[in-house]
Structure 1
Amino acid sequence: MEIRSFDVDRASEAELVGYHHLVVASAAVDAPEVLPLSYDTVLGDLRHPHVAFGPTRHWAAWGTDGLVGFARVGFPGAENTHVAMVEITVLPQQRRRGIGTELLQTVQPALRADGRTLLQGWAVVKGGAGDHWAAALGFECVHTGVRQRLVFAETDQSLWEVDPPPGYRLARWVSEAPEELVASYAHAKGAIRDMPAWAVGYQIPDWTAERMRAEEVATRERGIERRVVVAVCEATGAVVGITEVMLYPHRADQALQGDTAVLAAHRGYGLGRCLKAAMARWLVADKPQLKWVNTSSAVSNSHMLRVNRQIGYHIVRTTIVVEHAIADLESAGGTLPSASG
């Protein structure tokens, strides 16, 4: 087996086809409820990872029959320059041969060179091969969540007819917040820090109007459409609740839920349900090609899970976030046990 860096913009067609095969074969075992992913979708995900990842680098493991394993590493910025976000995928029939472990060893020099001290894996399927492999390597589970999906064609859309409570009105926009709302929008977005069971080493950004504007520009430059619905307190004119979705250019049939948050002083009035219901109505009316929205919530966030159920979401699977101090991984001289990877 040979491991070498992988540049998606310079890869050959055969190498990209091999990567597509790897992802589809792994998903069939690890997340069988996922529909077969097209070549364009898989390559789009590689070129346009979740915004939290930051810049990414890739490594591929090659065997005699082609690509057998892949590592994608994200290097977040700002508060999270200590974090490296790692996804390692191994062909199901090639697992338990140490490929994933060797990939993990291979990426560590790049992490050290960039000053990263904490390794994280997100959206690991609970009880799956990745969970067992990470546990064998000493990773700690720091967060448990559920992935939920709202399938428009299977949902009673009358569930979305939810009026704002007295004293509040809704506003919405695409990509750029109105100038008069951007500061309070950023402040309300920060309420996501109250999310239950957030023990993850990844730090939630400290949102300001200036930082929000920079994020809007960066999102647009990546071809991602951010749609936002907010609740405005009529007495103050300030945003007190928000929900966001991201529409990625290579996934025309689905949306990815971003933050949903309500300031503590305005909770208990049904604003979360109202906001998410309004978003669903907007998406169905404005984006007929969309089929569903995917979201994730902490298992302990009973309020958000209830809100999602009320508007038609169903649970797809349970996932975990795992993390490990990079120095501790290296303390054994770089020798790691082989597990399901």
Structure 2
Amino acid sequence: MRIRTLSPAENPAELDALLPAFRAASVEAMPGFPAPGAARLLMWATPGYHQRTTVFGAFADEGDEGDAGDESGGGGAVALGFGIQDVETSKNRDLASTQLWVPGAARGEGVHAALFEEAVRVAANAGRQRLAMAFSEIEAAAVVSDEFVEGHGGKLTDCAIRSALDLRAVDRALLEQWAAPSLKNSSYTFVTWDQCPEEYAQSFCAALDAMADQPMGEFDYDFGTVEVERLRFVEARGVRFGVRRYNVAALDPRGEIAGFTSMIAYPDEPETIEIANTGVTRQHRGHGLGLRLKAAAHLWVLRSQPDARWICTFNNDANKWMLDVNRALGYQAAERWPGYEFPVPVPGARALT
């Protein structure tokens, strides 16, 4: 088995090499839902704001069954599995966040273990001390045993719940009722956009900072602050990969953003919409804005993308408030995604085995 560093955003052959494993592993991790498309993988494999991203794939040795092809990733090469690791350069400088994508058929071949070792090596070379990874509960049951976690000095830090709403079953009349002003929130007006208008940019960034106090279990993560430069970078990155954004914001009587919800749609995933973020600033909580914002955004999606089937979202299992809002809207838990953290040895230390 060979492990290679890849650049799928620059090399179409390398994207082709990763996409089958990405789609197969995703369908296994999230059964019953459509496979993701290339646009999502490309965006994840491209560095974010003040971030370095490393993509590494596992390939069969030449001459083995399922030959991986040449070193460029061409020749019909197909990865057995791969990982994407992000390290931030302005905050969380001790942390490397990694996601592994390995179809079940390759797990018995030692692919998961090889990619885990590569993730540790890449994190160590980046000078990081913590390696964070999350797995679908289905995958975790197969590859993340207590023995594995303890043997590598790891620990369970938190757990996210992925919830899904079947748009074929929604009650539009109820959504319209929730999206309408109530006695508690009638003083707020709503605005929508794909790219944030300049007049709201500073206020929107301040509202995005409301995400910083969301429950994260025992996972230590610094959200930092959102600057307009960062906002514009994220928007431009989405445009590059054809992502459509549904942003709904609530304005208080002074014209400042009190809360928001953001949904995204990938161009090659017509059935699926994702909630990216929802937040209400501290001073405006308790007015039912979260439910009203989400109901309004759902109605927008239903009008704009009538062929969409699912809206999906992740919430930490400690975030009872947002989970309650989602359950009221009709979301059902799809899977749990436990998150783990492993120590990273300093460069030159013995690799974890």
TM-score when normalising by structure 2: 0.81
Q: How does 1:192-271 map to 2 (within 5 A)?
A: 192-234=211-253, 236-271=254-289
- Cα pair 1:146 1:315 within 8 Å, conserved: yes
Distance change in 2, residues 1:23/1:135 (3 Å): farther
For 2:118, which of 96, 101, 106 is the aligned residue? 106
Alignment RMSD, CA only?
2.8
Counterparts of 2:151 and 2:29, CA distance in 1: 18
- For 1:334, the equivalent position in structure 2 comes to 351
Higher mean C-alpha displacement, 239-248 vs 267-276? 239-248
- For 1:301, the equivalent position in structure 2 comes to 319
State the 1:42 CA deviation.
4.0
Question: Does 2:172 match 1:157?
Answer: yes
For 1:169, which of 177, 180, 189 is the aligned residue? 189
- Cα pair 2:152 2:352 within 8 Å, conserved: no
For 1:46, which of 41, 44, 49 is the aligned residue? 41
For 2:55, which of 55, 58, 61 is the aligned residue? 58
Distance change in 2, residues 1:328/1:23 (3 Å): same
Unaligned runs of 5+ in 1: 337-341
Counterparts of 1:205 and 1:221, CA distance in 2: 25
Cα-to-partner distance string for 1:310-332 (whole Å, 9 max, x where unaligned) = 1121111111222222127975x
State the 1:305 CA deviation.
0.8
Unaligned runs of 5+ in 2: 67-78
TM-score when normalising by structure 1: 0.84
State the 1:50 CA deviation.
8.1
State the 1:5 CA deviation.
2.6
Tell me the SS of whatever aligns to 1:269: coil
Tell me the SS of whatever aligns to 2:345: helix
For 1:125, which of 120, 131, 137 is the aligned residue? 137
Counterparts of 1:52 and 1:156, CA distance in 2: 39
For 1:93, which of 81, 105, 121 is the aligned residue? 105
- For 1:141, the equivalent position in structure 2 comes to 156
State the 1:192 CA deviation.
1.2
- For 1:311, the equivalent position in structure 2 comes to 329
- Cα pair 2:29 2:136 within 8 Å, conserved: no
State the 1:69 CA deviation.
2.9
Runs of 4+ in 1 over 4 A off after TM superposition: 50-55, 133-136, 328-331
Tell me the SS of whatever aligns to 2:255: coil
State the 1:279 CA deviation.
0.2
- Cα pair 2:45 2:55 within 8 Å, conserved: no
Counterparts of 2:240 and 2:250, CA distance in 1: 27
Counterparts of 1:152 and 1:90, CA distance in 2: 30
Counterparts of 1:230 and 1:183, CA distance in 2: 13
Amino acid at match of 2:214: M
Tell me the SS of whatever aligns to 1:78: coil
Amino acid at match of 1:101: A
Tell me the SS of whatever aligns to 1:180: helix
Identity %: 24
Tell me the SS of whatever aligns to 1:284: helix
Distance change in 2, residues 1:136/1:247 (3 Å): farther
- Cα pair 1:125 1:131 within 8 Å, conserved: no
Amino acid at match of 1:118: R
- For 2:76, the equivalent position in structure 1 comes to none
State the 1:74 CA deviation.
2.5
State the 1:190 CA deviation.
0.9
Higher mean C-alpha displacement, 161-170 vs 206-215? 206-215
Tell me the SS of whatever aligns to 2:202: helix
- For 2:71, the equivalent position in structure 1 comes to none
State the 1:80 CA deviation.
3.6
For 2:290, which of 266, 272, 278 is the aligned residue? 272
Counterparts of 1:99 and 1:85, CA distance in 2: 19
- Cα pair 1:175 1:220 within 8 Å, conserved: no
Amino acid at match of 2:192: R
Counterparts of 1:51 and 1:189, CA distance in 2: 22
Question: Does 2:198 match 1:179?
Answer: yes
